[in-house]
Structure 1
Amino acid sequence: MAMKLTLQEMMTRAALPAVCVAVASYFSFHAVSGPTGYVAWREYKVQRSKLQQAVQTSEEQQAALQRRLVLLDPRHVDPDLADELVRRNLDLVKPDEVIVPLPQAQSAGN
């Protein structure tokens, strides 16, 4: 007993599966390439690693500045650091010293 379906009936029966496929496709697309999808997640992961490196660098710089700040405490100044700062900022040398100029690349670490 074969039933002959009209075009209208076939469209009505196919509507629900078509809507389900469309909804599933929509969510699948956004799961892969949406603003919080897999592709964006990978980019966020790369950004996070770069930011973590920047934070680590900043923390290292802060620690170095903190060590230098401790040496510059007015109650007990480190004599070597004070001598270095005075010589550098005031261009003072002792009579028995010789000044040897260094290239910029070597003195950049000072």
Structure 2
Amino acid sequence: MRPEPNIAKERFVQGLALAVLLLMGAWVIAGPSGLVAWGENQRLLEQREAKLAELRLERERIRNRVDLLNPQNVDPDLAGELLRGNLNVARPDEMVMLVP
């Protein structure tokens, strides 16, 4: 038969091993890269992809305006719109209608 101190030592080692396994399991579930964080990361990824699509549309809109303002081939309608909007000028025979 085994002496009592060895049984106590084995139980302590088994308890410690169980505690370490439980801690590792908790880390897998609730850690920074665990299952709980996985869902949060997916939600953030979807939000950032939506924002990226929004920014791409804005970039295309700005690129179009830049192309229309090319100094060698300016779009007359856009130039007139910018002059009237920025300088608040209008000819006497024009009527200004503000659209919200």
TM-score, scaled to structure 1: 0.76
Write out aligned runs for 1:42-61 (5 A). Answer: 42-61=39-58
Q: 1:55 to 1:101 in 2, by over 3 A?
A: closer
Give the alignment partner of residue 38 of structure 1, picking from 32, 35, 38. Answer: 35
Q: Which residue of 2 aligns with 1:99?
A: 96
- Equivalent residue letter for 1:11: A
Structure 1 segments unaligned to the other structure (5+ residues): none
Gaps of 5+ in 2: none
1:89 is aligned to 86
After TM superposition, give the deviation of residue 6 of structure 1 in Å.
5.2
Letter in 1 for 2:68: L
Is the aligned partner of 1:70 residue 2:96? no
Mean CA deviation greater in 76-85 or 91-100: 91-100
Q: Secondary structure at the match of 1:42?
A: helix
Residue of structure 2 equivalent to 1:29: 26
Identity of aligned residues (%): 28
TM-score by length of 2: 0.83
